[in-house]
Amino acid sequence: MKTSLIITTYNWPAALNCVLQSVALQTRLPDEVIIADDGSTNATAELIKRLAPDFPVPLIHSWQADKGFRLSRSRNKAINRARYAYIIMIDGDLSLDKHFVADHIAVAEKGYFITGKRVKLSSALSQKALQGPTQLSFFSRGIARGRELAIRSWRLQQYASVKRGNSIEGIHGCNLAFWRQDAIDVNGFNAEFEGWGPEDREFALRLINSGKQRKLIKFYAVAYHLDHNDNSRENLAKNANILRGIQQSGLTRCTLGINEFSQLSDLN
C-alpha cells in the first residue's frame, strides 16, 4: 500500500527539520512527503530545497500565501497534490517514533479513518530535540504529559485501540490517517474554518456522516509533540458554530473545500 505523508507547517523550520529527520529514519518510509505550508517565509522553502535532493522519498512543498490561519485550505491543497491512495497527516511540530508510518499502515482498514495520540514534551526536552536527532522513549526525562502514550506494543494496541463508531471526542488532526478518496467524497477539510480548531473534528464528523467509521489507535504510531505557545483562540466561537451546524444537519460535504482546487488556476 502506497502512502502520502502530509506535514502541516507555518514559520517554524527548526521543528519541520526535526520531524523530517524522524521521517527519514522510518522503518517503513512513506512513498512521498508533502509539506502543507500555510504561508511560511523563505526560510522554510530553503530548508525543503536543501533537504530534498538527499531525502529518501520525494519531498514536495505545497505553499499558499499567508492570509491568516488557513490550515484547512492548506491541508486541502496538499491532499489535492497527493498521488497515493492512503494519507497519513501530521503536524510539523512532532518527532515520530521510527515505526510510526509502519504502524499506521498496519492498522489501515477500508471504511475507517484512524485517529492517534501524541506525547507532550517539556520545553527543555523539546529544545534538545530541536538541536538534532534525539532518542525519545517512555523513559525520556522531560515528558510533560502522556508518558503512557510513549509505550509501543502490538498487544496493548490490540486491547486499547477500539472502533469508536460516531464519536469525535479526542480527535487530533496532528495524528490522523484516511483514504484519499474518502476525503474527496466529503470535499476535504472545511475551508470556512480560519483560525484555530475544531476543523479536525468537523472533518471527522462528515466522514462519519458519509458512512465511514473511526478507529482510535493507542500504544501505536507514537508521536512526540514539541512544546510551543498556543495558537490564538480568537475565532474559536465562530468555528465551534460551524461544527455545531454539521452536528445538527448531518451533512457530509462542506461548501468550500477541496473542490476549490479544481476550480482555480492560481492555487496560491
Q: What strand order describes the sheet that includes 94-96?
A: 94-96, 223-225, 119-121, 143-145
Tell me, what's the pLDDT at 233? Answer: 67
For the stretch 179-202, pLDDT in tens is: 999 999 999 999 999 887 799 999
CA angle 224, 174, 261 (to 5 degrees): 145
Tell me, what's the pLDDT at 267? Answer: 36
Q: How far apart are CA 52 and CA 219, in angstroms?
A: 31
Among 36-40, 117-121, 227-231, the range scoring the smallest mean pLDDT is 227-231
For the stretch 92-123, pLDDT in tens is: 999 999 999 999 999 999 999 999 999 999 99
DSSP-assigned states of every residue in 223-243: EEEPP-PPPP-TTHHHHHHHH
Mean pLDDT over each residue of the chain, to the nearest integer: 92
pLDDT at 214 over 50: yes
Q: How far apart are CA 124 and CA 173, in angstroms?
A: 25
Tell me, what's the pLDDT at 102? Answer: 98
CA angle 184, 109, 222 (to 5 degrees): 95
Q: What is the 3-state secondary structure (H, E, C) of 97-122?
A: CCCHHHHHHHHCCCCEEEECCCEEEC
Q: How far apart are CA 234 and CA 197, in angstroms?
A: 10
Q: How far apart are CA 110 and CA 15, in angstroms?
A: 32
Strand partners, 114: 177, 215
Amino acid (1-letter code) at residue 196: W
Instruction: Kindly state the average pLDDT of the residues 233-245.
Output: 83
Split at pLDDT 50, 70, 90, the class of 264 is very low
